[in-house]
Amino acid sequence: MTRIESETVATERSQNRIFTFLADFNNFQALMPEQITNWQSTSDTCRFTINGMAQIGMRIASKEADSKIHIVSDGKNPFEFTMDVLIHATGEQSSNGQLIFEGDINPFIRKMIESPLHSFVNELAKKMKDIPAA
């Protein structure tokens, strides 16, 4: 099992605001890096292509109010994975966010995609700072 933890990112948004925004995949497109194309989403699912790689599908499997969103791979993916969005209040209008990715990636493929995947997870986490105020 490959585990990738993003940096913990401090935001000037409340825990509830970060959670509410990220609990809807329709909002995730605004956080995606430019190498993401063919974005399709509903509130609970999304599908997209990472340039030069395969199409990825994800589904929100569970939510713990204001603190955690558990995302799982959905549909035809190159490997099975989960991703947890963790949000912790640090003040009334501030919070920290982190993404934890775990994937069942075979060792050969892992060598090729681990670094780009780590960059992708960190990029998503950093963009939590850009979530608009309510």
> How far is the C-alpha of 64 from the C-alpha of 1, rounded, in Å?
24
Point out the least confidently predicted range of 24-28, 49-53, 59-63, 65-69.
49-53
Domain ranges of the chain: 2-23+62-130
pLDDT in tens, 59-81: 999 999 999 999 999 988 888 99
Would you list the DSSP string of 90-104? EETTEEEEEEEEEE-
Classify domain 2-23+62-130 at the CATH topology level.
Answer: Alpha-D-Glucose-1,6-Bisphosphate; Chain A, domain 4 (3.30.530)
* Residues 95-113, mean pLDDT to the nearest whole number: 90
pTM across the whole model: 0.91
C-alpha distance from residue 39 to each of 18, 36, 98, 123 (Å): 21, 7, 23, 17
C-alpha distance from residue 14 to each of 8, 17, 20, 92, 128 (Å): 15, 5, 10, 6, 11
> How far is the C-alpha of 14 from the C-alpha of 125, rounded, in Å?
15
> How far is the C-alpha of 45 from the C-alpha of 23, rounded, in Å?
10
- If you count DSSP H runs as helices and E runs as strands, how many of each does the chain have, helices first? 3, 8
pLDDT in tens, 82-102: 999 999 999 999 999 999 999
